[in-house]
Structure 1
Amino acid sequence: MGAFRAFSVLLVAFASFGESLANLNGSTTDFDSFRKKFHRSYEVNSEEFSRRQIYFQKATVRHLYLNSFSTESQSATYGINQFADLSQMEFRDVYLRAESSSRAPGFAGLTRTGLPARFDWRDKGVVAPVQNQLACGSCWAFSTVGAVQSVRAMGGLQLEQLSVQQVLDCSWENQGCNGGSPSRALAWLKQTRVKLVRASEYPYKAETGACHFFSQSHEGVAVKNFTLYSFSGQEEAMMGQLVTFCPLAAVVDAVSWQDYLGGVIQHHCSSQWSNHAVLVVGYDTTGDIPYWIVQNSWGTAWGDQGYVYVKIGGNICGIADSVAAVFL
């Protein structure tokens, strides 16, 4: 919570810039365009309409502040997306529901040398398309399942969407749409040897339901083991883990991601409050700003076709604090 408060304090300070809301992009015309683009159905002149327009106007102030740090060509940009009419509290309460189950031990292994300057598991055809968790705090389940289905495909099998809903409903140490932890979900999969079935057999509903059990003879994917480390201060070693093993499930501080449009995030993340789970699928060190390539679960309309880029080094957004690799 400290990171959220600190971020809010910075935004309040920025309000002293003095622009009136009427002069910003939060005009009635822009808000009408936003509502049409994102299919908002609240009625004009209703209480909800007024409240959402105020949130939208506040978002335009926030974007000016966030973009004031974007001084380099690759820097992140912030602006209007599908979350622009949510308050920061609403966004946090619905979409930032992941947590680290415990402090991950620091990585004590060897750092791999001779790493490629750029590496992306998507190039190997083992990363499934971006999904959309909708208004359900299920990012932890998407991150977990994303890692499992990638490792399965790396074994030579056809890349298939596995059931996020099965993890959401059945991982009893987590809280379904109310939040959870990738490491707890992986521990549950390892301990129970539950087989993840295809998403077509157990489709996603964006709400927590009753667990549907399958027989042990039913075809599915079981997790044998996983590792969980902190690579804080050791992101080169994290690069080595990514290249050597698989896409990595990570828990990050995504408070400022509400407004992200594209580019490399280098600021605004304190890494003091882990709240969102993602899948790290690659990295690129060939440009001026080295960055992680991160698949999110907010649909392809968000970010760069559903992806976000986070600067390598400095543990930006806490991306190296809690990182899991899966073994089948």
Structure 2
Amino acid sequence: MTVMKFLIVPLVLVAFSCNICESFELERKDFESEKSLMQLYKRWSSHHRISRNANEMHNRFKVFKNNAKHVFKVNLMGKSLKLKLNQFADMSDDEFRNMYSSNITYYKDLHAKKIEATGGRIGGFMYEHANNIPSSIDWRKKGAVNAIKNQGRCGSCWAFAAVAAVESIHQIKTNELVSLSEEEVLDCDYRDGGCRGGFYNSAFEFMMDNDGVTIEDNYPYYEGNGYCRRRGGRNKRVRIDGYENVPRNNEYALMKAVAHQPVAVAIASGGSDFKFYGGGMFTENDFCGFNIDHTVVVVGYGTDEDGDYWIIRNQYGHRWGMNGYMKMQRGAHSPQGVCGMAMQPAYPVKY
């Protein structure tokens, strides 16, 4: 699938101020020789507490050199976008994609066929006639977003996006922010493929069919597929009443939805610019691949000196991006949005 590649309050600027937190700085002298590059690699390994045996280090050093050169080159271009040598710096793009991406399109299409066959329970678009949309909003500032999580080496982004969206709407409706179990969704939602991939809409269906989803303390995440271990008795669960799709390829409709709650979106995440994102605005001119293979949550929007933006919550841990977040261009020339983020947004409903 081909994808076309903040007036903001001071509080939102503060949220983005530590945009290279725990970053790994590069200097021109690091690229003067093979020896200086190897010293850079060892320094990076120590910084990220990554251990490789001698043979593996030799092979991965070749990948690391190319990645380091790309990061350094992009950061010299004078763009808003800044990259950093994060924990993925000695992984190739193909290796990263095979380990962290999700087969979103397959499970989305499979889910759509089942919805069509059964009639489904998906609603319309409840925010269609919403008025007085604020010029900016950040659900983190409203206490509706949990701390950044880490999906690890598992294509479970679809479960994380669904759970994060449910955590947020539960807080908005009840004023209670709880951390819910991605692992229960991963293990027990048989419509989807676990670490091989899935789609957040079918995760919402799973929650509706299974009396909600339990809290994370009852069913912790361990980065892999396991047997479904449903807990009974006094098991605390959070429930939803349905879910809705945002109209496709319509960033203004997405803005209406995000003004009321965080929204799950599917995006293309291929290429080194996305993998090594460290700060600044990720725009339609920056490469994120051609295939929808990842899901994240839009937790706000605004405007700053770089222009209109979305606040994207990822689940690669706090060392990726701006403490786990990305500032992505809002109002792209392509109706699909940057990285295809406007193609298939959805959100859970809770009355």
TM-score scaled to structure 2, two decimals? 0.79
Q: Tell me which residue corresponds to 1:241.
A: 257
- Distance in 2, matches of 1:302 and 1:24, equals 27
SS at match of 2:174: coil
The Cα shift of 1:288 comes to 3.8
Say if 2:165 is the partner of 1:155.
Answer: no
Identify which of 62, 67, 73 aligns with 1:54: 62
- Distance in 1, matches of 2:34 and 2:202, equals 44
- For 1:143-222, list aligned pairs within 5 A: 143-190=161-208, 192-215=209-232, 218-222=235-239
- For 1:1-328, list aligned pairs within 5 A: 27-43=37-53, 46-64=54-72, 66-67=74-75, 70-71=78-79, 75-100=80-105, 101-102=108-109, 110=128, 112-190=130-208, 192-215=209-232, 218-232=235-249, 234-244=250-260, 246-255=261-270, 256-266=273-283, 267-269=285-287, 272-314=290-332, 315-328=337-350
Cα–Cα, structure 1 residues 25 and 326, in superposed 2: closer, same or farther, change >3 Å? farther
Cα–Cα, structure 1 residues 126 and 85, in superposed 2: closer, same or farther, change >3 Å? same
Cα–Cα, structure 1 residues 196 and 107, in superposed 2: closer, same or farther, change >3 Å? closer
1:107, 1:230 within 8 Å by CA — same for their partners in 2?
yes
Counterpart residue identity of residue 259, structure 1: F
SS at match of 1:207: coil
Cα–Cα, structure 1 residues 270 and 305, in superposed 2: closer, same or farther, change >3 Å? closer
Q: Which 5+ residue runs of structure 1 have no aligned equivalent?
A: 7-20
SS at match of 1:322: coil
The Cα shift of 1:287 comes to 3.4
Cα–Cα, structure 1 residues 119 and 176, in superposed 2: closer, same or farther, change >3 Å? same
1:269, 1:316 within 8 Å by CA — same for their partners in 2?
no
Length, aligned pairs only = 305
Q: Which 5+ residue runs of structure 2 have no aligned equivalent?
A: 6-30, 113-121
2:185, 2:203 within 8 Å by CA — same for their partners in 1?
yes
Cα–Cα, structure 1 residues 55 and 154, in superposed 2: closer, same or farther, change >3 Å? same
SS at match of 1:123: coil
- Distance in 2, matches of 1:26 and 1:62, equals 16
- Distance in 2, matches of 1:124 and 1:108, equals 22
1:130, 1:295 within 8 Å by CA — same for their partners in 2?
yes
Q: Deviations over 1:65-123 (max 9, x none)?
A: 5446543xxx1111311100001111001112151403999979746443222111111
SS at match of 2:65: helix
SS at match of 2:104: coil
2:159, 2:186 within 8 Å by CA — same for their partners in 1?
yes
- Distance in 2, matches of 1:257 and 1:288, equals 18
1:261, 1:302 within 8 Å by CA — same for their partners in 2?
yes
Root-mean-square deviation (CA, aligned residues, Å) is 2.8
- Distance in 2, matches of 1:206 and 1:89, equals 20
- Distance in 1, matches of 2:165 and 2:303, equals 23
Cα–Cα, structure 1 residues 228 and 24, in superposed 2: closer, same or farther, change >3 Å? farther
- Distance in 1, matches of 2:35 and 2:199, equals 37
- Distance in 1, matches of 2:188 and 2:128, equals 36
Cα–Cα, structure 1 residues 217 and 203, in superposed 2: closer, same or farther, change >3 Å? closer
% identical aligned pairs: 29
Q: Deviations over 1:209-264 (max 9, x none)?
A: 000123487431122210123442x21221111113x1001111112321111111
Greater RCO between the two (CA within 8 Å, min separation 6)? 2
- Distance in 1, matches of 2:65 and 2:325, equals 26
Counterpart residue identity of residue 254, structure 2: M
The Cα shift of 1:26 comes to 7.4
- Distance in 2, matches of 1:288 and 1:273, equals 26
The Cα shift of 1:62 comes to 2.4
1:269, 1:318 within 8 Å by CA — same for their partners in 2?
no
Cα–Cα, structure 1 residues 156 and 194, in superposed 2: closer, same or farther, change >3 Å? closer
Q: Deviations over 1:162-201 (max 9, x none)?
A: 11110010111111122211122112223x1432111000
Cα–Cα, structure 1 residues 40 and 219, in superposed 2: closer, same or farther, change >3 Å? closer
Cα–Cα, structure 1 residues 24 and 258, in superposed 2: closer, same or farther, change >3 Å? farther
